């Protein structure tokens, strides 16, 4: 006897209910290969459903190979449809996971590069997304160009000219899924195994990994409080490109002065390589006037990368590349092979958001908030640590660096601080290529922390370091 149940209160068609139950029984071995299924009329009568329901469920199972019919004998479970079920651990670890989540909620996390998530302009963005969805032509819902929507590339080129002194035509832009995809595209475009790439040291671990995965040889150049030390550029190297974060060095926070920018361009011209400028958070400059982009000084040599992860939200996964004309076509092809294109509706929503000046308004608002948060981190650090802490890299963005005397922030120390004192900090050393120089420095991201959280976090850090 085949035990099946039918529930007419469910929103699942009867055929589906019969099909699913038999399929599950076959997959888990309750119905073994060669076993005979009841005749359709008999099963229909047992379950109180029409014979058509059973006929259609059997037909579906037959089409998928779970059962077979033998003329004159009936319907049988097919060979090879049993799959040994692995033990499920999900439900058992649910409580544990919940507990871990709660513990995490308890932790004050100084992770850098996270904007104030509760201040995302949800209403405006939602309104624009709704308009875009309602008003765009049907054709936009199809496949699109790899370089991205012209509406976005046009407003973006205007916005960048106005705010960052970037020199570009919309055709030079490729919209990417965040800056991270731009790094990957460039690595594929410009790096072959054995090629050299000059990078700042320290520089984010993720970027080092992306370039290394192309088989490139990473040539680190040390960074001081003003960014890359140009007098240490290796004259015996022939790099494919030099990677810099000139507006706000990540992680140490320096801003590259004009003299070093010129030195860098002269070096790149001499060795004939590109410069890649990662301009990830320079909109939030807290002191002095905004710094012009490096790209504006030599648009044919500098590849510019931007992102909306810091000014809006990392969840949008929207960034862009500005390329010298010689690289445009190849980069568009690569983007096509990678993921065809970045989602069109999001691009159009962003285009409208920029065009109607909501982005600039949002940046102005957030700049005040981040400046207040930065000032507060500095105040708390000084209150708690006095002159035993040195602060730098705080002129721009969503993080600063704190250097402590006689403390080495090894992984083990940082983990213990997190477990015991519930404050998460990020050592600069993780991002260092030449190890041992930055062991007493930590990155403190404040973008997504309230004043209360900042005060509590620094207080916990003092207790931990005591």
Ligand X SMILES: Cc1ncc(COP(=O)(O)O)c(C=O)c1O
Q: Smallest distance from the beta carbon of 316 to ligand X, in angstroms?
A: 9
Which residue matches tokens 């329901």? Answer: 53
| Contact with ligand X (CB under 6 A) among 204, 295, 347, 384 | 204
Of all residues in this chain, which one has the CB nearest to ligand X in the complex? 178
Q: In this complex, which beta carbon is closest to ligand X, that of residue 111 or of residue 371?
A: 111
For position 314 contacting ligand X by CB under 6 A, the verdict is: yes
Sort strands 441-445 and 426-427 into parallel, antiparallel or unpaired.
antiparallel
Strands (E), 66-202: 67-70, 74-77, 108-109, 173-176, 196-201
Q: Smallest distance from the beta carbon of 243 to ligand X, in angstroms?
A: 10
Q: In this complex, which beta carbon is closest to ligand X, that of residue 32 or of residue 315?
A: 315
Binding letters toward ligand X, positions 122-161, x by CB under 6 A: ----------------------------------------
Q: Smallest distance from the beta carbon of 306 to ligand X, in angstroms?
A: 8
Quick check: helix, strand or coil at residue 242?
strand
Sort strands 196-201 and 217-224 into parallel, antiparallel or unpaired.
parallel
| Contact with ligand X (CB under 6 A) among 19, 22, 113, 341 | 113
> Cis peptide before 202, with omega less than 30 degrees from 0?
yes
CA 194 to chain CA centroid, nearest Å:
28
Q: Look at residues 62, 141, 120, 164 and name the one whose alpha carbon lies nearest to residue 369.
A: 120
Q: Which helix (H) or strand (E) holds 218?
A: strand 217-224
| Contact with ligand X (CB under 6 A) among 319, 427, 447, 457 | 319
Neighbours of 257 (CB within 10 A): 13
| Contact with ligand X (CB under 6 A) among 240, 282, 309, 396 | 309
Q: Smallest distance from the beta carbon of 181 to ligand X, in angstroms?
A: 7
Binding letters toward ligand X, positions 164-183, x by CB under 6 A: --------------xxx---
Q: Smallest distance from the beta carbon of 296 to ligand X, in angstroms?
A: 19
255, 246 in Cβ contact below 8 A?
A: yes
CA distance to 220, 257, 341, 342, per residue, from 176 (Å): 26, 29, 8, 6
Q: In this complex, which beta carbon is closest to ligand X, that of residue 67 or of residue 366?
A: 366
Distance from C-alpha of 116 to C-alpha of 309, rounded to nearest angstrom: 11
Longest Cα–Cα distance in the chain = 93
Name which of residues 270 to 299 contact ligand X (CB under 6 A): 278, 280
Q: Smallest distance from the beta carbon of 305 to ligand X, in angstroms?
A: 7
For position 246 contacting ligand X by CB under 6 A, the verdict is: no
Residue 411: which residues within 8 A CB-CB, separation 6 or more? 427
Q: Total number of residues binding ligand X (CB under 6 A)?
A: 13
Distance from C-alpha of 48 to C-alpha of 52, rounded to nearest angstrom: 12
Q: Smallest distance from the beta carbon of 438 to ligand X, in angstroms?
A: 16
For position 247 contacting ligand X by CB under 6 A, the verdict is: no
Name which of residues 351 to 380 contact ligand X (CB under 6 A): none
Q: In this complex, which beta carbon is closest to ligand X, that of residue 56 or of residue 277?
A: 277
Distance from C-alpha of 152 to C-alpha of 156, rounded to nearest angstrom: 6
* Residues that bind ligand X in the complex, under the rule CB under 6 A: 113, 178-180, 204, 245, 250, 278, 280, 307, 309, 314, 319
């Amino acid at each position: 006897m085949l035990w099946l149940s039918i529930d007419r209160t469910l929103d699942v068609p009867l055929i589906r209910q019969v099909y699913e139950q038999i399929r599950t029984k076959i997959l888990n071995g309750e119905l073994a290969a060669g076993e005979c299924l009841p005749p359709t009329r008999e099963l229909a009568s047992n379950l109180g459903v029409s014979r058509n329901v059973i006929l259609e469920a059997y037909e579906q199972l037959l089409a998928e190979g779970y059962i077979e019919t033998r003329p004159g004998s009936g319907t049988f479970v097919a060979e090879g449809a049993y799959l040994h079920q692995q033990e499920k651990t999900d439900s058992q670890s649910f409580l544990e996971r919940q507990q871990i989540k709660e513990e995490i909620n308890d932790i004050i996390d100084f992770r850098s590069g996270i904007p104030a998530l509760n201040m995302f302009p949800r209403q405006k963005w939602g309104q624009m997304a709704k308009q875009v969805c309602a008003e765009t032509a049907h054709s936009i819902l199809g496949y699109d160009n790899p370089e991205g929507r012209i509406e976005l590339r046009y407003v973006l080129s205007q916005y960048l000219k106005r705010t960052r002194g970037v020199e570009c035509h919309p055709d030079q832009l490729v919209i990417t899924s965040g800056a991270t995809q731009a790094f990957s595209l460039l690595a594929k475009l410009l790096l072959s195994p054995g090629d050299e790439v000059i990078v700042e040291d320290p520089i984010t671990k993720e970027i080092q990994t992306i370039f290394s995965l192309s088989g490139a040889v990473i040539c680190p150049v040390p960074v001081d409080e003003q960014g890359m030390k140009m007098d240490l550029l290796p004259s015996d190297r022939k790099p494919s490109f030099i990677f810099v974060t000139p507006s706000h060095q990540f992680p140490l926070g320096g801003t590259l002065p004009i003299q070093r920018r010129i030195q860098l361009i002269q070096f790149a011209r001499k060795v004939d390589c590109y410069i890649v400028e990662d301009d990830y958070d320079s909109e939030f400059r807290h002191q002095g006037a905004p710094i012009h982009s490096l790209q504006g000084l030599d648009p044919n040599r500098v590849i510019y990368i931007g992102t909306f992860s810091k000014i809006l939200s990392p969840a949008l996964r929207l960034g862009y590349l500005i390329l010298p004309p010689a690289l445009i076509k190849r980069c568009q092809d690569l983007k096509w092979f990678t993921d065809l294109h970045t989602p069109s509706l999001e691009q159009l929503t962003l285009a409208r958001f920029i065009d109607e000046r909501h982005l600039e308004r949002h940046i102005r608002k957030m700049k005040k908030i981040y400046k207040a948060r930065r000032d507060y981190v500095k105040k708390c650090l000084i209150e708690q640590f006095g002159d035993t802490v040195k602060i730098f890299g705080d002129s721009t963005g969503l993080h600063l660096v704190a250097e402590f005397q006689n403390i080495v922030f090894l992984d083990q120390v940082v983990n213990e601080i997190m477990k015991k004192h519930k404050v998460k900090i990020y050592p600069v050393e993780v991002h260092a290529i030449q190890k041992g120089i930055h062991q007493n420095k930590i990155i403190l991201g404040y973008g997504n922390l309230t004043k209360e959280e900042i005060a509590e976090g620094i207080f916990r850090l003092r207790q931990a370091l005591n």
